Amino acid sequence: MGGVGKGWEGVILRLLRGKDFTFTVTGAQDVTEHYRRVHVTDGGLLAAAGESLHPTMWVRLWFESAGKPHTRAYTLVDPDPAAGTFSLEFALHDGAASAWARAAKPGDTIEATVQGTGFTAPAPEPERLLVIGDPASVPAINSLLDAYPQTPATIWLETQHASDAGLPVRLDPARHEIRRVERTGSALVDRVKAELPELVADPASAYVWLACDTVTTRALTAYLRKELALPKQRVNGLGYWRAA
């Protein structure tokens, strides 16, 4: 962050007992023209997390733009506690986070804060994972699929670019079905409302995990809870970003 403070967001996170770490870049690769993976050492984060390390675990990274701090949340990809390493994946667009990811090279550092992340495993375990996301949530989707290696899954994935066909979703054709939805208007919400109900035989045992833009997440969470009557503990909804 070049010595720039973390502003009011940093003050709030400190008050909420957020823990700060510094990650160091060890390498990077372009997965597609709009998606980049950055490898880092963890600055002690994984050792500090210990047994609290969980699927879909995320951290807040700090970026500098026009001399001001900005924070964005990113999921840990393939954390290796023994080595103290993991990766971060970026759905590239305009903005400070994408600019940092595009330029990231070995030796670069970035500050991060851990606060607020959590995952409550559904009990009983779902017979099928119902997953709704977009390129920004691919790392968390993969983490969820890894956590339930024997569970079938249906995934609705919103896409924007032709190259999104190459996004690194860890699909097992024997167990996983992916339904790609082009990002246009309310297309994702409409598809989910049309197709998901037939996969919910019993609202009390179904499990839906979704992470999209805030408006989409709110609309679908309300639909799942109010119209399909899924219990609160069977819906895990996260609003990752706000559409411009």
List the domain boundaries for the chain: 7-114, 129-241
Exposure string over 78-95, b if 16+ CB within 10 A, otherwise e: ebeeeeebbbbbbbbeee
Q: Quick one: CATH architecture of 7-114?
A: Beta Barrel (2.40)
Average pLDDT of the residues in 232-241 = 82
Structure tokens at 10: 């940093």
Whole-Å CA distances, 188 to 10, 16, 72, 142, 219: 34, 34, 23, 20, 11
pLDDT at 17: 55
Topology given in CATH for the domain delimited by 129-241: Rossmann fold (3.40.50)
Q: Do domains 7-114 and 129-241 have the same CATH topology?
A: no
* C-beta of residue 228 within 8 angstroms of C-beta of residue 222: no
pLDDT per residue as tens digits for the range 155-199:
999 999 999 999 999 999 999 999 999 999 999 999 999 999 999
Average pLDDT of the residues in 9-13 = 47
Asked whether the predicted pLDDT for residue 5 surpasses 60, the reply is: no
pLDDT per residue as tens digits for the range 104-137:
999 999 999 997 667 888 888 999 999 999 999 9
* C-beta of residue 212 within 8 angstroms of C-beta of residue 185: no
Q: Please, which pLDDT band fits residue 1 given cuts at 50, 70 and 90?
A: very low
